[in-house]
């Protein structure tokens, strides 16, 4: 098997309206409706990384503890959206707060230089806004 790229990724939500409102309205992704309540965002480029992230590490990166808080849904997956700069991560996090979202961590710069802010989607995905300098270096 020779896997070339991530062909698709997305949340499965119990409330189609809430799911659409978060991903389209709150985050501003553009979708086309292919069937009732079934939306595709075909204009996004693919992922730079596909990673298996242990819950203990996600909890440590988000809350500074290896234990996920029992008061929050345990995420079933993660997705990060790369932004143009650390300032864009700060601005994006501020926009999300203004839209009524709870930022779990950040914006903060990780020890390896990546700037991140994280929140949970209505479906329980750990959503990150990110700026990774290595992704923006020109050869």
Token pair 């988000």 is found at: 62
- Residue 38 · residue 32 · CB < 8 Å: no
CATH for 87 = 3.10.180.10
| Residue 24: closest CA among 107, 137, 33, 128 | 33
Global pTM reads 0.84
Q: Give the mean pLDDT of 33-50.
A: 84
Is 26 a domain residue?
no
Is 28 a domain residue?
no
The number of distinct structural domains making up the chain is 1
pLDDT higher than threshold 90 for residue 71:
yes
Token code pair at residue 53: 């992230």
Question: How many angstroms separate the CA atoms of 44 and 80, rounded?
Answer: 12
Question: How many angstroms separate the CA atoms of 34 and 28, rounded?
Answer: 18
Is 24 a domain residue?
no
CA-derived radius of gyration, the chain: 15
- Residue 22 · residue 121 · CB < 8 Å: yes
pLDDT in tens, 9-39: 888 888 889 999 999 999 999 998 888 888 9
Which residues constitute the domain of residue 108? 49-136
């Amino acid at each position: 098997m020779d896997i070339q790229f991530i062909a698709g990724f997305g949340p499965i939500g119990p409330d189609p309206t809430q799911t659409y409102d978060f991903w389209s309205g709150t985050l501003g992704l553009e979708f086309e409706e292919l069937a009732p309540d079934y939306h595709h965002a075909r204009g996004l480029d693919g992922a730079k990384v596909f990673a298996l992230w242990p819950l203990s590490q996600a909890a440590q990166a988000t809350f500074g503890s290896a234990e996920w808080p029992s008061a929050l849904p345990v995420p079933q997956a993660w997705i990060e959206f790369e932004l143009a700069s650390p300032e864009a991560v700060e601005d994006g996090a501020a926009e999300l707060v203004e839209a009524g979202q709870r930022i779990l961590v950040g914006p903060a710069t990780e020890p390896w230089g990546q700037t991140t802010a994280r929140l949970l989607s209505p479906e329980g995905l750990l959503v990150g806004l990110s700026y990774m300098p290595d992704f923006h270096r020109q050869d």
